[in-house]
Structure 1
Amino acid sequence: MSESKNHPASTEVGHAHAGGEVVHADRFPDPGVPEHKPRLTDTDPKAAKRAERIVTLLFTISALGTIATLVAYFAVRPDGTTEGVRLSTLLLGVSMAVSLLGIGIAAVHWAKSLMSNHEYVDDRHTTATSAEAREVAVIALQQGVEDSGIARRGVLKGAAFGAIALFPLTVAVPLISSVGDDWDVSKFRHTLWRKGVRLATDPDGRPLKAADLTIGSVAHIQPDVPLEERETHHWITEKAKAIVLLVRLNPDDIRSEQREGASYEGIVAYSKVCTHVGCPVALYEQQTHHLLCPCHQSTFDIADGAKVVFGPAKRPLPQLPITVDDEGYLVAEDDFSEPIGPSYWERLK
């Protein structure tokens, strides 16, 4: 049986017969690139001009979004209340979204309506690029610039460069202006916990009695403060440092504590701020008494002083020493046994 010769513009189809022999059927020609169908903007100058105006408008909207971001950043500063923080965050988020989306949508519309949409075929070649191929690549890049029409559309070019140049200000200005912010790390050495401060459930703020907890019970805890104080931005910041996980164990299961007498009848309280990078540690496994950080799987044994048993964390969770007051409510005896959270400069250990 004669065998057909290879041809660069054809494809070979084989069929297997009984016995495993492959018989080559007739080759079919390469269908090639489909016929190019021009867009409306390719044939109608008015449509092309209209598309150019739309793209220019989108870039202009992006630039206005950047300006609105800067205005919102300086004019609507958080005033210390929850509502003020929400308003500032909302205005910054919306204006930055308008700025970035304007650039993105304009770029997509430009590519689909104004740039060349002809199909091109590039043959495969060896990995090493010859000097001739590099020259061809440079020519192709120049052709791409020409196809984009940016050179002959001055208004569009100005709008595009203006929007792209302005957008980084939405990130750069807040970063630069924050250089003078408070960098006092000593604030992490202390939290809202003081002697006599009651332990309250998070988030409803209900004071908790030791009698409310049975062995195996778990509660998310925050300091008990007046309701009006919980509406301030200062409270939100301080609460983030003071969050606690409270667990009642069988007293016989407690093998060690960070500080002698820090627990009360098997009830232990540990900081929820992971000592790795500060994620909230709140996944408790009752059988093993292990506390898991969901971010990087650091695992702490709360029956053994919250020591690290797995993961990247290097230090135990700080323990909050607790007791009960005259009414049976759980209260703190002092602040945490050591600074909460990840390592930072000036920390002794």
Structure 2
Amino acid sequence: MPLSSPLVIGTRGSPLALAQARETQDRVSIAHGWPVEQLPLSIIKTTGDAIQDRPLSEAGGKGLFTKELDIALLEGFIDLAVHSAKDLPTTLPEGIVIAGYLPREDVRDAFISRRFKTLHELRAGAVVGSASLRRQAQIRRLRPDLQVTLLRGNVQTRLAKLDGGEVDATLLAMAGLRRLGLTDHVTTILDTEDFLPAVGQGAIAIAVRVEDERVREALEPILHEPTAHTLAAERAFLTILDGSCRTPIAGHARLIDGELEIRGLVMRPDGSESLETARRGAVSDAVAMGREVGTELRTRMPAGFLSA
């Protein structure tokens, strides 16, 4: 179908955000035969991008990476917003909906060090940097003898800090490293049995205005239904726990032999205690299973567990 007017794609300005926006741009262009010039990128700086000196949990959580894009979308300055799915809060502003997801990338975390081959080989007292409370708690759970410190910034910035000796090691998402062509930096890929990923990790979400049928129709050919099923389960799980950047929560759903399996994990920030459970069943029950996993963990948690 012909494109009557440009579709403006909103994105953050980090290298990874731009790579994700360009992937979306390319997929839409190829699907419809539209020139990329008719799908311009609008780079929007978010509050989360501006905060580099403290954990996001102390500044407001996940919405810090989406607020300004939400405003631009609702005010009509952009037609769609491209997000890392793990950055999306569980509740979106009224008038905005997730149209769907691109095919999911590798969900695993990568261990990166210039001196050590694995997390287990790190010497006692070694410094591991991460901005993720989930990763920090999982590191402390496996290696309580390590020093875990805040490491903010985009992927390239964190790698530069590692090379500069600020930390002995760091953990980054394989999906982001793949999209940036930086997998040569990976020392070891971590098994999801030990490091369950964040909800939405590896998935690109596309948000649109609820009533904008033109944009929804344009996106339909590029959206990936299997990813939508797994993210429906994961986000339902997270919603029950009211998850944000303030709590170490991990969750991952996958399709196995036509069924959906979801695992959920919550931890104390110091890694001293963790609770985990799983469900497997029909894909059509994805949301219900996600809720069941979240409800079970919430029931099992001691008082004050999430606010510790």
TM-score between the two structures when normalised by the length of structure 1? 0.20
Task: Please state which structure has a larger fraction of its residues in strand.
Answer: 2
TM-score between both structures, scaled by the size of structure 2: 0.22
Greater Rg over alpha carbons, structure: 1
